[in-house]
Amino acid sequence: MSETVKLTLDEVRALSLSILTKSGFGPEHAAAIADTLTTCQTDDCQSHGLFRLFMCHDTMKSGKVDGHAAPVLKPSNNAIVRVDANAGMSLLAFEKALPLLIEKTRANGIAAMAINRCFHFSALWPEVERLSSVGLAAMAMVPSHSWVAPAGGTRGSLGTNPLAFSWPRSGKDPFTFDFATSAFARGEIELYRRAGKPLPEGVAIDKYGNPTTDPKAAMDGAMLTFGSYKGSALSIMIELLAGPLIDDLTSLESMEFAQGAGGAPYHGEIILAFDPAQFSGGRVSDNDARAERLFADITDQGARLPSQRRFAARARNTERGYVEIAKTLHDDLRALAEDVRAV
Residue 38 to residues 92, 143, 207: CA-CA distances in angstroms? 15, 24, 38
CB of 33 to its own copies, least distance (A): 27
- What is the CB neighbour count within 10 angstroms for residue 149? 23
Question: Under rule CB under 8 A, which residues in 228-247 are in contact with its own copies?
Answer: 228-234, 236-237, 239-241, 243-247
Residue with smaller CB distance to its own copies, 1 or 245: 245
- Among 148, 272, 325, 329, which residue interacts with its own copies (rule: CB under 8 A)? 272
Binding string to its own copies for residues 149 to 188, with x set by CB under 8 A, is what? Answer: xxxxxxx-x-----x-x-x-------x-x-x-x-------
CB of 307 to its own copies, least distance (A): 9
Residue with smaller CB distance to its own copies, 55 or 291: 291
CB of 109 to its own copies, least distance (A): 4
Q: Residue 31, by phi and psi: left (phi above 0), alpha (psi -120 to 50) or beta?
A: alpha
Question: Under rule CB under 8 A, which residues in 1-20 are in contact with its own copies?
Answer: none
As a whole number of angstroms, the distance between CA 217 and CA 326 comes to: 29
- Among 64, 73, 135, 274, which residue interacts with its own copies (rule: CB under 8 A)? 274
Contacts of 21 (CB under 8 A, 6+ apart): 27, 30
Residues with active-site annotation: 47-48, 188
- Among 287, 311, 332, 337, which residue interacts with its own copies (rule: CB under 8 A)? 287
206, 218 in Cβ contact below 8 A?
Answer: yes
Binding string to its own copies for residues 102 to 131, with x set by CB under 8 A, is what? Answer: -----xxxxxx-x-----------------
257 binds its own copies (CB under 8 A): no
CA 78 to chain centre: 26
Residues listed for the chain: 343
Residue 88 to residues 21, 115, 134, 264: CA-CA distances in angstroms? 14, 11, 27, 11
26 binds its own copies (CB under 8 A): no
Amino acid 180 reads: A
As a whole number of angstroms, the distance between CA 15 and CA 106 comes to: 37
Binding string to its own copies for residues 290 to 309, with x set by CB under 8 A, is what? Answer: xx-xx--xx--xxxxxx---
- Among 40, 137, 189, 217, which residue interacts with its own copies (rule: CB under 8 A)? 137
